[in-house]
Structure 1
């Protein structure tokens, strides 16, 4: 393995690179990381769009307007013909990404500190969500001189396209579509649906709010973000935070599928202004027509790494057997034949 540069050295190298090839300029880190929520919340909006068929022309108009604003190509050739997959009603995969921008005064490009793969299988009527640790050590697709690095740096180096290729290379799984949300959108969305109800899995206090294990709380957007932010006092660290993030998003999904939410153009526009995806309106209609039943049976998992300090940086190093387990799980959910990771 090549010597891994620390993040400051990587930032300086990226700044020099940008002068010559318009590569991304990695911003300075601003102190302790305060929160890396489930900015893949746009995935909840995608799921919300699956109810479009049932709610008629007004819902379609609102959704069409919102998703048109959010569309942006990944800028790469996909691993397979995604239109053919969707037209033939085969299982699809969506990569959910979240960035640091949009709140807490952040306006730089940032990294994708939330990374999740979703598979939707209309035949088995099941949906799978798998979280990838943001500090997973891996090679960045197209950037051999910068590899190995943390997987969340792929977005800073080369954008969504590089992130998709990096995830595909890591797990040997095709990524059909992506959806990205910056953290400025989540609080707005929670407030738009009237808050979310969540039961805390542990007791802790954070930024003036206190939560008790086993107690159920109705949270507004600000409180839900606090519930999702805390990491250092969780015995499970970032993995525990991922669990709380899942609780918030699942609660938000339950509220989002209501008819009044689908018809709420303010809600949809607040999300679309903070998001981007390469799912077109016609893609979403196909999802609504053929994949909706799968969202009623959602399971979740995460890829488990082991924390290691390498050249002054903290990484999550994922063993071969764990990576193969996740690959098998995802490929099975996509009805694809087994493949052995290197």
Structure 2
């Protein structure tokens, strides 16, 4: 049995009971930042001290992060920034055991072109886990369980040849409370389905927290699988942001902040948030989303998503362009294995499909 197979076996018992709760992600902290940016002075003035206290509680500087550039210098210069959003399956951030990151999204905020871009990375994406060995390959969501946010950042940076400036880690269980706090969300379901005791019709409908959580979780009955689930997650998040900036949400702001304290960790300081509110306001309301498209593959007996070299370069170029950085070819263990026909268990027995 290989080391990777043993690792999966070790994780199985720990994750089994919580597996039903995994298929969603809560960007509570990003939502609060967006509320401050979009709402501007009204929120910032009225809730200044409450927000400051909450920001201090959730702040955690991760050691071991290999930043490709200085995040603070980038932010102070009003340049586009990148944030890695991690939805974890731990159930509670205080546990010593790191659950895997259920969903990973690279968000870029560009005040020049006035865009906030969110790029989803499927949790089963094949990746070199930076810090686990020169040739250690596993699903990218394992990086968080092995080395927390720092290893997740380092792995994502290498996979896509991009800088990650900040991170936000969120316990998925908080989405129900945040949705209720903003008065629910309105979504446009692409098809009708039932999940976890909830029924969803095709088309527009308003959901409470419990319903929104279920809407975000379902994966196996979606024709697009995990990619369809990611789209529904982003749909819920965008609706939360729209609901959060309404005046009526001020009355539930304490509940939103408490949800943050219980479910979020980040290396963004309160001062960082103030800088974002001041200098990045124009990018908050124009959201663009994309995802890293993988291909089904079997590696060491496990199901993976393998991104072609062409796709890795496409996403890398997209993010680097949003960060006002020159395009560079991705050259890492994944692209090398793609070119050598080592992407899957089939190896060199078949013509490798992952170079194009």
The 8 Å contact of residues 137 and 318 in structure 1, kept in 2 or not, is answered as: yes
The answer as to 2:44 corresponding to 1:38 is no
Q: Deviations along 1:133-182, whole A, 9 cap, x unmatched? A: 00000110110177200000001111110110000000010000000100
1:1-342 mapped onto 2 (5 Å cutoff): 5-6=4-5, 9-10=6-7, 28-30=14-16, 33-34=19-20, 35-51=22-38, 53-55=40-42, 56-75=44-63, 76-102=65-91, 108-144=97-133, 147-214=136-203, 216-262=204-250, 264-342=253-331
Distance 1:262 1:295 in 2: 19
TM-score of the two chains, using structure 1 as the length reference: 0.89
Q: 1:123 to 1:166 in 2, by over 3 A?
A: same
Q: Deviations along 1:217-236, whole A, 9 cap, x unmatched? A: 21111111111111111111
1:262 shift after superposition: 5.0
Distance 1:177 1:259 in 2: 29
TM-score of the two chains, using structure 2 as the length reference: 0.86
1:199 shift after superposition: 1.4
The 8 Å contact of residues 204 and 212 in structure 1, kept in 2 or not, is answered as: yes
Q: 1:275 to 1:302 in 2, by over 3 A?
A: same
Distance 1:53 1:231 in 2: 36
The 8 Å contact of residues 52 and 288 in structure 1, kept in 2 or not, is answered as: no
Q: Which structure would you say has the larger RCO, counting Cα contacts within 8 Å and 6 or more residues apart?
A: 1
Counting matched residue pairs gives 325
The 8 Å contact of residues 86 and 170 in structure 2, kept in 1 or not, is answered as: yes
- The CA RMSD measured in Å over matched residues stands at 2.2
SS at match of 1:113: strand
The 8 Å contact of residues 27 and 237 in structure 2, kept in 1 or not, is answered as: no
1:36 shift after superposition: 2.0
Q: Which has the larger displacement, 45-54 or 78-87?
A: 45-54
Distance 2:202 2:9 in 1: 44
Q: Deviations along 1:202-230, whole A, 9 cap, x unmatched? A: 1111122221222x221111111111111
1:108 shift after superposition: 4.5
Q: 1:27 to 1:112 in 2, by over 3 A?
A: farther
Gaps of 5+ in 1: 14-24
Distance 1:45 1:108 in 2: 27
The 8 Å contact of residues 33 and 277 in structure 2, kept in 1 or not, is answered as: no
SS at match of 2:14: coil
Distance 1:52 1:281 in 2: 17
